[in-house]
Amino acid sequence: MSRFISRLGKSGAVAGAATLALILSSCATTPSEGGADSPSEEPTIAFVAAQMTATYFQVMQCGAKAAAEENGVRLDWQGDPNWDLKTQTPLINAAVQTKPAGLVLVPTDPVGLIETVENISADGVPVLTVDGSLDEPAELQNIRTDNLSAGALAADALAKAVGEQGTVLVIASFPGVAANAERVDGFTERMAEAYPDITVLPTEYSDADQSKAAQKAAAAIANPDLKGIYTTLAPASAGASAAIQAANKTGEVKLVAYDADPAQVADLKAGVYDALVAQDPYGLGYDSVDRLAKIAQGELDPESLEYQEYVSAFIIDRDNADTEEAQRFIYKPSC
C-alpha cells in the first residue's frame, strides 16, 4: 500500500450532517467490519475516533477500512461526532466489551485517558493512538503529524502572504492539547526566529467550535493592523474563513489553515485561503489498523515498534493546488 505522505524518523524526528450519516451508516457489519454476526475466527480491530463531522476523520475511516479488508480482519469503528471525553468514553467502553485484538484511539483528552489506556493495555489489548497523544506513554505506539515542523511551514506561508510584516493571529483548539500546542509552538517559534517585523497576537482558543472560531476571527478583523490568521484545526479554519468573507476581507486578511478538504481547496483557489497544511488522515487510519492486524495474526512483533512515529505535512497553495503531488493530499472522504 503506497503512502500519501513520506514518513520521518520513528523516534523523535521530525461536513455536514448528511455526510456524517452516510459515514456512520457505513460502519454497519461488512466482511471486514465488526458485528456479532461476523465469523468468530476473524480478529476484530476496534477504532474509536472523534469529531466525525470533519472530513479529516472520515478520510481516516477510509484508510482504516482499507487496511482491515487487506488483512482479513473485522473493523469495529466508533465515530463520536464531538471532540469530548464525556461522549467518547462510552464508545471506548463499548469497543472494549467486544474483546478486540487491538484498539486504535484518537485521544480527546491527553490526561483523562491515560488510566483508561493503561487498563486496556494491562488486559492484553494493544493500543495505538493516532492524531493526538497522551501526556504519558501508556499505549504501544503513537502516530501523529510532525506538528512542530508543520507549524513552521505554516509560519513561512503566512509570512510570505503578508509580505513579512504586520500583525497576525493564531486560533487553536483547546489549551493543553499537546498536538495542537505543537502546531502553535512551531508557528510562533518560527515567526520569532525568522520574521522580526511580524507581531503574533496572543493565541485565541475556539474549543474546536466553528462558531466560536468565527467570533474570535471577527473580533480580530476589527483591528485594522491585522494582516493574517493561522488556524490549527478544521472547525477553526471554517470559522475564520466565514468571518473573513462576512467582513468582505477576502484577500486582504490572509488565511493559512490546517487541513485540506475539497471545500477548503475550492476556497483556496477562490482566494479565501492562502495556504493549507495538509496531513495524512488516510495513512494514519491505514497504518494503525494494519499494524494491529499484523500483531493479532502473529506477523508483527509489537516489541519492534518504536513508541513515537511522526508523519510529515504538505503545504498546498494556489501555485501547486492542481499538481499531481498536491492532489494526493486533498482529503477525499468517499471510499
Complete domains list, the chain, with CATH: 17-144+280-312 (3.40.50.2300), 147-273 (3.40.50.2300)
pLDDT at 275: 98
Examine the pLDDT at 273 and tell me if it is beyond 80: yes
Of the listed ranges 77-81, 138-142, 229-233, the one predicted with least confidence: 77-81
Question: What's the gap between Cα 72 and its chain centre?
Answer: 26
The torsion angles phi and psi of 91, rounded to 5 degrees, stand at: -70, -40
* Band of pLDDT at residue 20, cut at 50, 70 and 90: very low
Examine the pLDDT at 90 and tell me if it is beyond 50: yes
Task: Locate the DSSP E strands across 173-294.
Answer: 198-200, 204-205, 226-231, 254-258, 275-278
Query: 46 in helix, strand or coil?
Result: strand
State the average pLDDT over residues 83-88.
93
Give one word for 255, left, alpha or beta, with left for phi > 0 and alpha for psi -120 to 50.
beta
Contact 157, 143 (CB under 8 A): no
Confirm whether pTM is higher than 0.85. no
State the average pLDDT over residues 3-16.
37
DSSP code for 203: P
DSSP code for 202: P
Residues 29 and 25: their CA atoms lie apart, in Å, by 10
Q: What is the mean pLDDT of the chain?
A: 89
The torsion angles phi and psi of 55, rounded to 5 degrees, stand at: -55, -35
Contact 78, 108 (CB under 8 A): no
pLDDT at 176: 81
Contact 284, 61 (CB under 8 A): no
| Of 188, 59, 70, the residue nearest 130 (C-alpha) | 59
Query: 102 in helix, strand or coil?
Result: strand
Examine the pLDDT at 210 and tell me if it is beyond 80: yes
Q: Which positions ≥6 away from 311 have C-beta within 8 Å?
A: 5, 7, 8, 143, 144, 145, 146, 279, 280, 283, 284
